[in-house]
Amino acid sequence: MSANAREAILAAGRRTAMARGYGGLNFRDLAAEVGIKAPSLYHYFPTKAELGTAVAKRYWEDTGEALDAISAASPDPLDALRRYPEIFRASLASGNRMCLSSFMAAEYDELPEAVKTEVQAFADVNVAWLSRLLAEAGVTEPDEAETRARSIYAAVAGAQLFARGRADIALFDAMIKSYQRSGLLPG
């Protein structure tokens, strides 16, 4: 199995899922984008469920690394928290796409169990990171950090959805500023 072809398929699957969700993952289209024959794609991912699972898992792993990079670049937990919306903004700035996990979560009833697990892992990684930084920064008491983290995650993902629906990244920026003014996000 060629690691390069597998990585190209995962990258194409990610782009597709961020634009069209799990339902938009189509082997023929992905194979054409990657430059292989559709039957060859089955060599790497025998089913759509396996492809969707691998794409969603890679997405949350990459996001975890991006969150760690924010923490490393901004050792002050308040600064890192202020940068959190960058993760969601980057999707909008890349062809008005949205968070793969948000898109797939909207398709929850149609997802195979393994894909659901990976979609939930994305939320869990975000909430755990936010919880840790909220507690470290003294924004909340440790026992209240997870509830606040879920609120932040939901608000930022919601801002992304709202802005995507209008193809206007400025709406995302305005909503994030309003979250900062209201105190939901550190300003």
pTM above 0.85, yes or no: yes
Q: How far apart are CA 92 and CA 160, in angstroms?
A: 7
Residue range 7-25, pLDDT digits in tens: 999 999 999 999 999 999 9
The closest of 48, 42, 160 to 115, measured between CA atoms, is: 48
Higher-confidence position of 112 and 102: 112
CATH domain 49-182 topology: Tetracycline Repressor; domain 2 (1.10.357)
pLDDT in tens, 51-88: 999 999 999 999 999 999 999 999 999 999 999 999 99
Taking a C-beta distance cutoff of 8 angstroms, is the pair 83, 60 a contact?
A: no
